[in-house]
Amino acid sequence: MPKDKRTPVEQSIDPAAQEMLIRADEIGVSTAFSRADAMTPCNIGAAGMCCKLCGMGPCRLTKEGQTGVCGATIDTIQARNFVRAVAAGAAAHSDHGRDMAFTLKAVAEGKTEGYMIRDVAKLRTVAAYYNIPIEGRSPTEIANDLADLYIAQFGQQRGHIAPIIRAPEKRQKIWQEQGVIPRGIDREVVESLHRTHIGDDQDPEHLLQHTIRTALADGWGGSMIATDISDILFGTPAPILGQANLGVLKQDMVNVVVHGHEPTLSEMIVAASQDPEIIEYAKQAGAKGVNLAGICCTANEILMRQGIPAAGNFLHQELSILTGAVEAMVVDVQCIMQALVKLAENFHTLVITTSPKVKIKGATHIEFDEHHALTIAKQILRTAIDNFKNRGPVQIPNARENLIPGFSHEYINYMLGGSYRASFRPLNDAIMTGRIRGVAAIVGCNNPRSTQDYLHTYVVKELLKQDVLVVQTGCGAIASAKLGLLLGEAGLNQVGPGLREVCEAVGIPPVLHMGSCVDNTRILTVLTQMVEDGGLGDDIDQIPAVGLAPEWMSEKALSIGAYCVASGAYVIFGGSSPVSGMPDRMSDSDAVLHYLTEGWEKLYGGKMEFDVDPDSMIQKTLEHIDRKRAALGLPAYDPERFGRSGDARILELEQLPLAERRAALYGVVEK
């Protein structure tokens, strides 16, 4: 039975989204929101109790003591489903990393068009991790070696993948002892598929051990490689003013929305959109120019580096087309809904697929190739401009908010001490004194099964009031951005007293936007550096920090969650667990679920939990943070002790007339 249809206000807290959802109703088209209402999830699949791995099934286990045809128990089936999901997520991130590595190789060989090595300092730093010689060598020579090394990580068969050495020593030792250091990125993904084939690995704990290894191949492998190379080729992000939400689309310009995940094409489209020839072409078409906007993590990539506005997060992909103002939606990989094409048929919007891996029936395909990147980017833009004349009625919600993204770990290091004293010391100090109670990484997707952005922003706002510093990536970051939480101003009036002092001292927003979902590795690097700076224990699991993915939906999120757990983090997913079981009907059908929590915590110090209630997520987060604080011997959190410093008093005094102000500020020097 379909559920009752929710109202727009129940579907999203974002007024721009609500406006577009009303428009969708008026036009009579479906969206992910309405389809979610119409589609009841399969409760057996949702509990992880359905096995469709072979032709003897699918087997749906719903009764006490039941097994599959092959005899697979419920926990084996759940563990197999889980490791497959993680493997798919790891594959997505890592394949992204692989393409970046190939691009770096091509740049080093001078075979690309339009790319260059923008951040030589980062290239040298990264190369130095792996003892690639840097002194007296040109950037392309170093890049060539690094590209070779990184490309080799994917197909490597034995040993350890290289970036593992960047983890805290104690953590590496734990992985060594548990036998979970990935041998090669692809190998772990392939082995996940092999092990879950009919009649292979049928020990749930053994399967879940390999889940960790596969996830580590993502977090400390493919994803880390992707982030490194993106920074090297496109610049390491630093804070920059940007904007978010559908209001960034422009009535009088050709709107091109880039959507997906990889920066290689989108960066080129950014470059092409500023080309005088293209601007002139747009003007000839009757527009003022080309307006670029991003959706999903492509948005984050170009927002972090170029300040290109974000039209929205995952669930805004359809809504942006609903404005009628989008000439082209250019997509590459991951999180692209097939529904776009059908939806676009109601408007003039062209959906342009570009990745050799991703075609959607009915979409225009202009295949991207880094060897002719700029030429293709211009071709795409011309196609979009040509489409401007076909535009029909337009309704762009007047909703957009400013934000300051760009918090790479390199910049965080710099911002806390300048060029000469860069370090994480002030952050560690702030946590140790209790000005910052702890850190929450609130990441992940949108999910139309919950009210869009609600869980993200509710949890963020409540934790900020509790002096928890929030770092975000992906769609979660854009959710907060839409509410102005990514501005310095929010650091003054949306937070507890201690965090306010820190925000004001550094000039940061209370929510630090650290990039796309592949950039969650930046968070691993930050945590590692916090450990190295001292005072917060000697491993990541001791830091008072929690990871949350309140609106998760993709398999990538599960992979991220698993590598964070393996790195020592407590990770709370909102929404339902893919391995929840049905303990009310079948005892022990939640054994795997419990193993992800208690079993993994014993081995890695981190654990994975699923919780649908935001207040409970907040409570668990704070309890965990306070427990970790106590374990480190840090003072208990007490907001009363802080909040005295800052500009407030002097700004008040500056309102006084000159003479009074002088007397008030400086007193009078007696002669």
Distance of CA 629 to the CA centre of its chain: 27
Looking at the Cβ atoms of 225 and 508, the one nearer to another protein is 508
Using CA atoms, how far residue 41 sits from 2, 32, 56, 509, in Å, is 10, 13, 23, 38
- On whether the CB atoms of residues 329 and 308 are closer than 8 A, the answer is no
| Shortest distance, position 669 Cβ to another protein, whole Å | 5
Looking at the Cβ atoms of 54 and 238, the one nearer to another protein is 238
| Shortest distance, position 238 Cβ to another protein, whole Å | 8
Q: In degrees rounded to 5, what are phi and psi of residue 573?
A: -95, 135
| Shortest distance, position 368 Cβ to another protein, whole Å | 32
| Shortest distance, position 209 Cβ to another protein, whole Å | 39
| Shortest distance, position 222 Cβ to another protein, whole Å | 30
- On whether the CB atoms of residues 437 and 542 are closer than 8 A, the answer is no
| Shortest distance, position 418 Cβ to another protein, whole Å | 3
What is the spatial distance between Cα 413 and Cα 424, in angstroms, rounded to a whole number? 6
Looking at the Cβ atoms of 184 and 509, the one nearer to another protein is 509
Looking at the Cβ atoms of 216 and 487, the one nearer to another protein is 487
Looking at the Cβ atoms of 219 and 496, the one nearer to another protein is 496
| Shortest distance, position 500 Cβ to another protein, whole Å | 10
Using CA atoms, how far residue 88 sits from 94, 191, 290, 578, in Å, is 10, 12, 36, 14
Looking at the Cβ atoms of 185 and 487, the one nearer to another protein is 487
Looking at the Cβ atoms of 210 and 437, the one nearer to another protein is 437
Q: List the strands of the sheet with 401-403, edge to edge.
A: 364-365, 350-353, 326-331, 254-260, 290-295, 310-312, 242-244, 401-403
Looking at the Cβ atoms of 378 and 513, the one nearer to another protein is 513
Residue 201 makes CB contacts below 8 A (sequence gap 6+) with: 80, 195, 207, 210
Tokens of 555: 């398999």
What is the spatial distance between Cα 227 and Cα 624, in angstroms, rounded to a whole number? 29
Tokens of 203: 């020990």
| Shortest distance, position 128 Cβ to another protein, whole Å | 17
| Shortest distance, position 666 Cβ to another protein, whole Å | 4
Looking at the Cβ atoms of 235 and 239, the one nearer to another protein is 239
How many residues in the chain? 671
Tokens of 484: 């102005």
Looking at the Cβ atoms of 45 and 643, the one nearer to another protein is 643
- On whether the CB atoms of residues 11 and 448 are closer than 8 A, the answer is yes
Q: Tell me whether strands 364-365 and 350-353 are parallel, antiparallel or unpaired.
A: parallel
| Shortest distance, position 435 Cβ to another protein, whole Å | 6
In the chain, the amino acid numbered 313 is N
Single out the residue of 298, 299, 286 nearest to residue 387, CA to CA: 286
The three-state DSSP-derived secondary structure of 104-145 is HHHHHCCCCCCCCCCCHHHHHHHHHHCCCCCCCCCHHHHHHH
Residue 590 DSSP symbol: T
Q: List the strands of the sheet with 511-513, edge to edge.
A: 511-513, 468-472, 438-442, 545-549, 570-574, 607-611
What is the spatial distance between Cα 278 and Cα 351, in angstroms, rounded to a whole number? 20
What is the spatial distance between Cα 202 and Cα 179, in angstroms, rounded to a whole number? 18
Tokens of 198: 């009919």
- On whether the CB atoms of residues 557 and 447 are closer than 8 A, the answer is no
Give 292's strand partners: 256
Looking at the Cβ atoms of 25 and 504, the one nearer to another protein is 504
| Shortest distance, position 508 Cβ to another protein, whole Å | 5
| Shortest distance, position 423 Cβ to another protein, whole Å | 8
- Dihedral over alpha carbons 235, 237, 240, 241 (to 10 degrees): 100
| Shortest distance, position 413 Cβ to another protein, whole Å | 9
Task: Give me the residues that bind another protein (CB under 8 A), please.
Answer: 239-241, 402, 404, 406, 414-423, 425-430, 433, 435, 487-489, 501-502, 504-508, 642, 644-647, 649-651, 653, 662, 664-671
| Shortest distance, position 434 Cβ to another protein, whole Å | 11
Give 257's strand partners: 293, 329
Looking at the Cβ atoms of 361 and 644, the one nearer to another protein is 644
| Shortest distance, position 71 Cβ to another protein, whole Å | 59
Distance of CA 52 to the CA centre of its chain: 30
Looking at the Cβ atoms of 217 and 404, the one nearer to another protein is 404
Exposure b/e, 482-499, CB count within 10 A at least 16 = b: bbbbbbeebbbebbbbbb
In the chain, the amino acid numbered 125 is T
Looking at the Cβ atoms of 414 and 458, the one nearer to another protein is 414
Looking at the Cβ atoms of 116 and 650, the one nearer to another protein is 650
Looking at the Cβ atoms of 631 and 656, the one nearer to another protein is 656
What is the spatial distance between Cα 9 and Cα 182, in angstroms, rounded to a whole number? 45
In the chain, the amino acid numbered 595 is Y
- On whether the CB atoms of residues 464 and 505 are closer than 8 A, the answer is no
Question: Could you give the count of Cα atoms lying within 13 Å of 521 in the half-sphere of its Cβ?
Answer: 28
| Shortest distance, position 258 Cβ to another protein, whole Å | 24
Looking at the Cβ atoms of 369 and 504, the one nearer to another protein is 504
| Shortest distance, position 532 Cβ to another protein, whole Å | 15
